[in-house]
Structure 1
């Protein structure tokens, strides 16, 4: 498997949904994207909550915590469609377990008489497929990969599309750092070669850019949490300290 040209624009994408199956009417409720150019986070992110016009299944709600009441005043997918298309147009899109997200996005496009989603982008990189090739027989969920690469996800008590995209971007950079190919020859050479025997130079380590949330972003986040508190008639799960952190601090 050949890595993409590092000069290409890449978009790391994740969605949250009302359930597991778009064929039975489940819808997208959140889209989060982060942009990578030359293997660097640019800060040009795309994040929208979406009114799915239906309730989330109980299992899905436990995963993302986005209530029907919270989403009721958010734009419908049709209202963010053109903005999303403009953002992802021509990009190489990175997704963990791509068939899931692509199935939902294709379904949303089809409802609007468009599609498929892949027609707007240059290609898809599925990090789950890559991880299975690199670590066969091991757990390769996003959480497992964060643990494997030492990427902190301690603040992730629930799934969120933007947060998961940011974590996946770090995982992707860690997975592909210094490699031009996943077909590594273990015969002792320090460089890799393609299928025609042409030597490929290893890339230098990329500098990791960490962007702290701005005061405006923190204030917006607080407003979202306040809305969830109101819907939950108490403290929403996003503000709750994980049980293991309070009862068993020594356990990993």
Structure 2
């Protein structure tokens, strides 16, 4: 039974030989593909950032982030302090947009049931994820396609405005507002091409897309600007924008 199950799991990376007995007529060789995380003595095959959001816009090696619904424990705690739903959405969005996997832990009670707070959180987060999941599934990290929106004042001060992440799939660019943005519009530098369509995945709302020269970037050039974002209406979830273009997106 074990031999047949293990032999079905993917390409070979290591031979695992059974110890065998003196009278055994054969010693089966199992071809097993194994990935090891970085929690052992070495670097392992993939990283496991725990309760943090790593710096950067894309993982350079495989990663699986670990988070729990409760801030103080990985198991059930009767007086647990639960993370806000939006905080967890922001965490999930950034990790997935960077190309990582996400493990969200739920601690059950002694009788095997889940706390009401956990059930509610999973329902709300799951509903949000289902509205934006196309921006993650079969999509590639693409944050390198969008530059930081930095404004230089007349006094020489550099002001970094909205920070966004991006994923791409075919002719579509997905813009992830994993941090709260400052206004009802975002500027996507260095883009100066109008998409065929701009849609907010969260509710299907059509958004206004313009390429124009705005006062804050008058020294530069016209940039793509996405307007009429419902930042004062949808305050409890991460917004994701879908932009459809004529041609396939490249780096």
> TM bucket by the smaller chain?
under 0.3
Higher normalized strand content (fraction of residues) = 2
Identify which of structures 1 and 2 has the higher relative contact order when contacts are C-alpha pairs closer than 8 Å and 6+ apart: 1
Taking structure 2 as the reference length, what is the TM-score of the superposition?
0.26
TM-score relative to the length of structure 1: 0.25
Larger radius of gyration: 2
Structure number with higher helix proportion? 1
